[in-house]
């Protein structure tokens, strides 16, 4: 795959996707081959900052003690105080709602054992536990604003159970160059972490949220021209010979 093929795919998606009543996201799907996901060394789990917006707001929740409380309430979209952990430990539905409502969770490092105990059973399977790889486990004195801003353009490239990576790389209101830059950033990172690089990629698709998927690099099928009709030969009836009288 090259940059030009991705550019053509963006144009094709825009041209062939009907407008909706909401702003649709560009979804990039990279299907993999010849990798063994049971081997942890071949699994993919990378947090990657993009150069441009993902095209949607990233909602961030902080989990902390009194040291982070004031700042977290000002900077983040929601804050769960350490004193309220017991409420979530008792109510699994409440914890599930929290996991579904927020994309990233920031946790105060010195209470991580309590975070794991309270939220781990729900957050773990959903991949929502505060992750040091994303910078989301912080000291009590951390400055949360730069982290919050960085998370707005952060995507997670994930393939542990299924040989496929799906990432939001922008929306239909963004410029093609911005979407293309985000796509290339994700593509190059995936290539970098695969054991056989490009040889581990089966195919790549691009689509809008409610639109049709288009395979990147696929040649457009042209309608075959109708075969020319050959002029029909006139069949002459054999002249009847007059019998001599």
Q: What is the predicted pLDDT for the residue at 236?
A: 47
Q: What is the predicted pLDDT for the residue at 218?
A: 80
**14 and 26 both lie in a single domain:** yes
Is 234 in contact with 41 (CB distance < 8 Å)?
no
**Domain residues for 7?**
1-56+153-218
The pTM of the full predicted model, rounded to 2 decimals, is 0.81
C-alpha to C-alpha distance for 47 and 44, rounded to whole angstroms: 10
Of 120, 151, 182, the position where a domain reaches its end is 151
pLDDT digits (tens, 9 = 90+) for 28-66: 999 999 999 999 999 999 999 999 999 889 999 999 999
Ranges of the chain whose pLDDT falls below 70: 220-245
> What is the domain-level CATH number for residue 75?
3.40.50.790
C-alpha to C-alpha distance for 170 and 27, rounded to whole angstroms: 8
Burial 210-228 (b: 16+ CB within 10 A, else e): ebeebebeeeeeeeeeeee
The overall longest dimension of the chain from CA atoms, in Å, is 130
Is 205 in contact with 29 (CB distance < 8 Å)?
yes
**49 and 87 both lie in a single domain:** no
**67 and 142 both lie in a single domain:** yes
**115 and 166 both lie in a single domain:** no
Of 116, 151, 186, the position where a domain reaches its end is 151
> In total, how many domains does the chain have?
2
C-alpha to C-alpha distance for 233 and 155, rounded to whole angstroms: 68
**45 and 64 both lie in a single domain:** no
């Amino acid at each position: 795959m090259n940059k030009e093929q991705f550019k053509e795919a963006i144009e094709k998606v825009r041209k062939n996707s009907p407008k909706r009543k909401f702003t649709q996201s560009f979804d990039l799907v990279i299907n993999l081959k010849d990798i063994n996901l049971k081997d942890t060394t071949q699994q993919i789990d990378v947090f990657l900052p993009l150069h441009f917006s993902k095209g949607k707001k990233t909602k961030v929740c902080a989990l902390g003690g009194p040291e982070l409380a004031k700042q977290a309430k000002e900077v983040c979209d929601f804050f769960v105080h350490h004193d309220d952990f017991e409420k979530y430990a008792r109510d699994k539905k409440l914890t599930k709602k929290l996991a579904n409502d927020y994309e990233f969770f920031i946790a105060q490092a010195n209470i991580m054992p309590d975070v794991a105990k309270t939220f781990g059973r729900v957050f773990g399977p959903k991949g929502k536990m505060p992750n040091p790889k994303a910078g989301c486990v912080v000291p009590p004195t951390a400055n949360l604003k730069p982290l919050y801003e960085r998370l707005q353009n952060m995507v997670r490239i994930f393939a542990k159970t299924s040989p496929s990576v799906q990432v939001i790389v922008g929306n239909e209101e963004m410029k093609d160059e911005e979407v293309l830059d985000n796509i290339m950033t994700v593509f190059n990172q995936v290539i970098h972490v695969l054991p056989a690089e490009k040889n581990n990629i089966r195919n790549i698709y691009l689509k809008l949220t409610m639109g049709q998927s288009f395979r990147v690099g696929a040649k457009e099928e042209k309608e075959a021209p109708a075969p020319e009709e050959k002029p029909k030969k006139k069949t002459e009836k054999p002249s009847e010979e007059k019998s001599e009288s």
